[in-house]
């Protein structure tokens, strides 16, 4: 796994441990956006993982239905 991917995973884990408990639960998806992002960074290269994670976070808003949205291994 590349160093940038590891760094972003560390950032996400730190967010989940220290900042997320202080905020109201608001993710509309399962797995949560942070879990989704970690899985992306574990599965794909940096650029693809970052773009998938950002796209997911943008879709996670009050106008979205949310629901089950796993990381797709064969994203085109």
Given a contact cutoff of 8 angstroms between Cβ atoms, the answer to whether 12 and 49 are in contact is: no
Question: pLDDT value at position 25?
Answer: 87
CA distance 36 to 27: 11
CA distance 37 to 31: 9
pLDDT tens digit string along 23-65?
Answer: 998 899 999 999 999 999 999 999 999 999 999 999 999 999 9
CA distance 48 to 63: 25
User: Hey, how many other C-beta atoms are within 10 angstroms of the C-beta on 12?
Assistant: 20
**Residue ranges per domain, the chain?**
3-68
User: Hey, how many other C-beta atoms are within 10 angstroms of the C-beta on 13?
Assistant: 12
Q: For residue 71, name the pLDDT band (cuts at 50, 70, 90).
A: very high
């Amino acid at each position: 796994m590349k160093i940038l991917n590891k760094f972003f995973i560390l950032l996400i884990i730190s967010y989940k441990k220290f900042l997320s408990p202080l905020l109201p639960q608001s993710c509309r998806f399962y797995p949560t956006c942070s879990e989704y992002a970690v899985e992306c960074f574990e599965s794909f290269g940096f650029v693809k993982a970052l773009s998938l994670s950002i796209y997911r976070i943008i879709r996670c808003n009050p106008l979205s239905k949310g629901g089950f949205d796993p990381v797709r291994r064969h994203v085109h």
